[in-house]
Chain A
Amino acid sequence: MSQETSHLSSEALAAFLSRRVGAPEAAAIEAHLAGCPSCRAELTAAHRTGARRERPKRVATRMAAAAAVLAVVAIGLRSPRADPTSAGPVFRGPESGGVVSTVAPSAGARVARDELRFAWAGAGPDYLYRVLVLDSAGAELWRAESSDTVVTPGADLRLVPEVAYTWYVDALGPSGDSASSGPISFGVR
């Protein structure tokens, strides 16, 4: 079989898995699948993903908050004038719905570099926190992990005055639940 024969469309594969195709089309799809290892692999993988999603792993939870933040950063990238922090609703870990309340620096704040502390309200006992600072393009500049609710960045975090940065904190609970502050823009004087 030629490598360039046309494969099933995503729509056809999904409709087949969702059992939303009529009998003649189902037969055609089955015939293609029977002869095409690559479409079969997609079909099996999609089915597995659907089945596994029903019993999620903890690690997925942990990364969800980071993904939500990245999503906001990407929105900012798509439209240069957009400030990531004003891109609509406050971002939550999409799974847990948890939000970490931040204290400092607050959104839009400009603080002296030597007074810069990242602080937030504790999410509960035995939580671990991860603080990240991103530049305006969304690239990670610095990160720290702590069980405390205040982190003082060392000299390894170099910030240029009057430039917009973003910080956020993710919380990871003892049972694998997560929460995120969502991105907060800040700068240094």
Chain B
Amino acid sequence: MHESFPTCRTQSFGLMTSTIPASLSSLLASGGGASQEEAWAAFLAAHSRLLLFVARSFGGDHDAVMDRYVALIEHLSRDDYRRLRAFADDGRSEFSTWLVVVAQRICLDHRRARYGRLRSTDDHARNEHATRRQLADLVGVPADLVPLEDRGDLPADEALAARETRSALDAALATLPARDRLLIELRFTDDVPLAEIAGILGYPTRFHAYRRLNQALATLRSALAARGVVSPG
């Protein structure tokens, strides 16, 4: 199957000012009344597709999506478009990226307000353990030390060894630069594919991300070797 690469953007860290889209600047400049309503309608005409896309990404049937969509436009227009004015004041991001992040947060809050927290912490913890185990494998932690979760059925000495391995791994992770830790968390805790990680962190291709990940794992391995958890080499 063909796997598409994310858009390649090199990490520039340039402090550029973003352009405020015309639909937003006319909305914020409109004084109120009919002209403001017209500007708001034009803003929605320009961005409703993106808002709808975010609303849809939270799943559910047509009514659930529309419910979320209405919450989005209500929230964005609240207090004289306070949320949109915040973009204009900050002005760093691409507007569409900013709008996606903001819309996601509104949808998350909306869902929490309605249904409470949906994701089971148990499921999340189980996944996290599975992928942590994979990380341990990769840095060469011996298989008998791998159970990283606290399991009641383990003999006391094995449970102790597992806890020690885990804290050694966490300590070794803490010595890495934040960017490498983020890379590792995305890969081994969140199970995000490398092609996506490359897009998120701005590596030109997934191979660049792969190379960086391997370097970080090598560093982790030597940190663990220095602590005597794994054998060097």
Are chains A and B native binding partners rather than an unrelated pairing?
yes
Which A residues form the contact surface with B (CB < 8 A)? 10-11, 13-15, 17-23, 26-28, 30-31, 33-35, 37, 40-56, 59-60, 63-64, 66-68, 70-72, 74-75, 78-79, 82, 87-89, 91-92, 94-95
Closest beta carbon of chain B to A58's beta carbon, Å: 12
Interface residues on B, range: 35 or more
CB pair A70 B46 closer than 8 Å: no
In the assembled complex, 30 residue pairs joining A and B whose CB atoms fall closer than 8 Å, in A order, are A11-B93, A11-B98, A14-B97, A17-B93, A17-B200, A18-B92, A20-B94, A22-B13, A27-B177, A30-B179, A30-B181, A33-B185, A34-B181, A44-B186, A45-B57, A46-B100, A46-B101, A47-B199, A48-B57, A50-B96, A50-B100, A64-B48, A71-B41, A75-B40, A75-B41, A87-B41, A88-B37, A88-B41, A92-B45, A94-B45
Docked complex: B195-231 residues within 8 A CB-CB of A: 196, 199-200, 202
A residues less than 8 Å from B7 (CB atoms) = 51, 54
**CA–CA, A14 to B92, complex, Å?**
8
Out of A11, A37, A60, A95, name the residue touching B124 (CB < 8 Å). A37
B residues less than 8 Å from A79 (CB atoms) = 37
Out of A19, A35, A37, name the residue touching B9 (CB < 8 Å). A19
Out of B11, B18, B41, B98, name the residue touching A89 (CB < 8 Å). B41
**CA–CA, A18 to B41, complex, Å?**
27
Please encode chain B, from 167 to 190, with 1 for each CB lying within 8 Å of some chain A CB and 0 for all others.
000000000011101101110011
Closest beta carbon of chain B to A15's beta carbon, Å: 4
- Contact A87:B38 (CB < 8 A) given known A17-B97, A46-B97: yes
Closest beta carbon of chain B to A134's beta carbon, Å: 12
**CA–CA, A179 to B1, complex, Å?**
33
CB pair A20 B15 closer than 8 Å: yes
Interface residues of B, dominant DSSP? helix
Known: A10-B105, A27-B177, A89-B38. 8 other contacts (CB 8 A): A11-B92, A28-B178, A34-B184, A50-B97, A53-B50, A70-B66, A75-B40, A89-B45
A residues less than 8 Å from B41 (CB atoms) = 71-72, 75, 87-89, 91
Interface residues of A, dominant DSSP? helix
A residues less than 8 Å from B47 (CB atoms) = 94
**CA–CA, A88 to B101, complex, Å?**
28
CB pair A94 B46 closer than 8 Å: yes
Please encode chain B, from 48 to 70, with 1 for each CB lying within 8 Å of some chain A CB and 0 for all others.
11111110110000100110011
Out of B77, B92, B179, name the residue touching A27 (CB < 8 Å). B179
- Contact A40:B190 (CB < 8 A) given known A20-B18, A74-B74: yes
CB pair A68 B44 closer than 8 Å: yes
Closest beta carbon of chain B to A14's beta carbon, Å: 4
- Contact A18:B93 (CB < 8 A) given known A40-B186, A68-B44: yes
